[in-house]
Structures are given as structure tokens and as C-alpha cells.
Chain A
């Protein structure tokens, strides 16, 4: 599957453009879809539902030990309390990184991903190299992201094979005492919440 690269042939792009437009027209004419709803769906995932939601969850967990405990005990409820719930995040589990243990999330069978907190999955998450290699060679995958963990760190990969969705709670960077939740959230990258990256700032 070379289509993780973005250099699709132009003719193919043109063909897909026409094909999707045709599909949309047929379904709208039959009354199965409301074109205005499509616009709202796209706007939602472009401007409202994305990894900044997850970053706020992580920042709250870093700032508030009681929230962290709740998040690890009942992630679905703790995340919903911040206003994030629903499609592709109906049943949430949070995996906490420690100095001894690093978590990484994959869906080897398709592209399962926690949409309410991370939005749409990036292309690489859905690609054959990631899905093939994550469960067998996670350190090789981390190297592709420029991440090198101590040899002694255990790596636990979670394959999302059912309707449970996983969010990684990364370690809070050192030197962030006194940071506000908003400042903390800025340190939290999407990849850190998948486990293919680390938060910005100095490692703990």
C-alpha cells in the first residue's frame, strides 16, 4: 500500500473527485442524504473535534490528581465531563505512561481511533506500514517519529480490535510546575496521545 504517500496521480484524483460528486448527487436526489449535513460534518471535524480536545483531557489529568484517578478508573465518564463523547469514543480507556512503561495504540484491522478526543486519524495511522509494524517492531516505528526510549522501558501496544478506544496519558514534562492547564495543553501533541510521540518540553 503505497498510498500513504501523497503523490497520487492527478488523473486518479480527478477520477475520485468526479466519483464522489456523482455519489453525492445520486444520494441527495434519492433523499438519502442532506447535503447541508455533509457540510456540517466536515466543519465539525475540521474545527470542533480534534486533538486539542484530548490535550485538554491530558492537561487536566496532569493538573488535578483526582481527575487523573477518575480518568484511569472510568475514562468515558471523566472525558464526557469535559464535553467530549460519542461517535468512535463511546467506550474509552486511558493508558498511563510511566518511566517503566510506554503505551502505543494501533488498529491493525482497520483504523479505529478515539474521534471525540483526537478527531480524524492521520494518514499514517491508517497506513500499512504502521498497522503492520506497530505490534511487532514498535521501537522501529518510534524511530520513524524521532523517538528513542530507554532500552529498559517496557513497550505495551494496544490493538483496538473492538469498540473500545484508547487514549495514552503521557508523562508530564519536568519543569512545568506552576503551568496553567492551558499552558500544559499546549505541550500535548496528538502523537503523544497515540504513543508515537512525546509531549513537548523536557522529558520527566
Chain B
């Protein structure tokens, strides 16, 4: 649907790409001095609770220059965008490289002494189940085929495809709603497996299957 305004540039699965994957040594974490700072400043701002991880993903995947940018560049660009959108910093301050006016308070500030505990705790997304799961392992399901005009975690290559429920992950925060600031709206989450032919037809590689994690509302029962 071409009239939809939300456009993710990050949905890459199955797209034609002739470039080789370039293996890297295990210790090769960063490729410029600014990259570890970019990582840390992004994590530290995430820890303030000013937005959630799904909001961050939405900010990143909708960057117009997504395909042109390296990954930590994407993080920085999206972080600046979120800061400006939330009124936490303004473009002139980022250009000047100093604070020009006081900003609103944030809920939490990550202190050096708390880093280990905050990382160890993480942000679990599983929530208590209010209803029984609609599907069980072995059930045939079909994914929704329509595109949606907001952040979603159903990749394009798996739209309108039939697969089988492999396992049930429990009830989890629903990324689509969470990214839009609509609360957690937890749903049952399933691991769904698709055969190569179901996804790629005649183009499939032999012996291939792909699984992904799908929330309940991505799925319908299939015969």
C-alpha cells in the first residue's frame, strides 16, 4: 500500500544482495574511537527510561539514510532524533556541542556504580498470561499479509505465509504497540517455522527452513 507513511528501511531479509559477508576476528569490536562512545551514550540514554527499545528501533529503521550508514552511525542519528523529538536536547545544542538551556528532568540517570546491576537485570519482556495460548506446537498458522503503517516485527518475507508453531514463548510485550507509545499490550509469542518452499517457492535452497518469533496478532489458524 503506497499511501502508507511509515517506511522501514531495515527489513532486509531475502532482499537481493550480491555482497560477500566479511568475517571478523573475535576481538574486533570497534573500528573507530567514537564507536564505543556511541554504544555507551546510546545505552546510557536508554537507561534513563525516556523511551523504550522498540521506540529506538522504530527511530533507527525509519532513518532516510539507513542503507548508507554504518550501524553505530544509525544509532547516533536515531539517538539525536529521539532527543530532539522528546525535547531533551535541541539541534542547536548538538551543533554547538554544549547545553544552551536547561532540559526537562529524566526519570533515572545511570551511575557508574549501577552499571553491572542494571545490565544484569536487563528488561525482561515476559508478562503474566491472562488468557490461554491460542496455538500450540504443531498447529498450522498463516501470517498476516497486509503491511501496517507502524513499527512491526513481522518481516516482509514472511507476510502471508503458512508455517507451523514450533514452540510457545509465553506472553510478551507487543513490540508494535510499545514502539508507538501505546503501552505494553502483551500478547502470546510463538516460534513459527516455515519451510524453504513456503517462503521462496522454486527459488528455495534445499533443506532450508526459517523460524521467527511472531506475536499472536500476526497469526491466523491455517488448515
Residues of chain A having any CB pair with chain B under 8 Å: 1-6, 8, 13, 16-27, 29-34, 36-42, 44-46, 49-51, 85-91, 93, 106, 108-111, 119-120, 122-124, 126-139, 141, 144-146, 151-164, 189-191, 196
Contacts and interface: CB of A to CB of B under 8 A. Distances in A.
B209 A133 contact: no
Interface centre among A37, A38, A158, A196 (most CB of B within 10 A): A37
A18 B167 CA distance: 47
A178 to B, nearest CB: 26
Given A29-B99, A40-B116, A131-B13, 8 more contacts: A16-B34, A19-B94, A31-B109, A37-B111, A45-B29, A49-B119, A90-B122, A145-B23
B17 A6 contact: no
Nearest to B24: A122
13 contacts: A24-B37, A26-B99, A30-B103, A32-B106, A37-B44, A90-B124, A90-B126, A91-B125, A123-B28, A145-B21, A157-B210, A158-B191, A159-B158
B39 A139 contact: no
Interface string B66-80: 011111110010011
B12 A128 contact: yes
B164 interface: no
A119 B106 CA distance: 28
B177 interface: no
A188 B112 CA distance: 32
Contact of B70 (A8, A42, A122, A162): A8
Interface residues of B, number: 103
B129 interface: no
A39 B23 contact: no
B39 A120 contact: yes
Query: What 3 A-B pairs have minimum CB-CB distances, sorted nearest first?
Result: A108-B13, A22-B97, A86-B122
Contact of B169 (A24, A49, A120, A162): A162
Contact of B119 (A42, A87, A163): A87
A135 B122 contact: no
Nearest to B93: A26
A108 B155 contact: yes
Interface string B4-47: 00001011111111011111101011011110111111011100
B36 A42 contact: yes
A132 B13 contact: yes
A10 to B, nearest CB: 10
B189 interface: yes
A4 to B, nearest CB: 6
Given A4-B22, A86-B122, A157 B208 contact: yes
A46 B115 CA distance: 14
Contacts of B206: 151
A155 B76 CA distance: 35
Contact of B32 (A16, A134, A136): A16
Given A26-B93, A120-B29, A161-B213, A34 B79 contact: no
Contacts of B119: 44, 49, 86-87
A2 B20 CA distance: 11
Contact of A141 (B21, B37, B69): B21
Which of B118, B175, B211 has most A Cβ within 10 Å? B211
Contacts of B114: 37
A156 B207 CA distance: 8
A21 B98 CA distance: 10
A22 B94 contact: yes
Contacts of B43: 41
B163 to A, nearest CB: 12
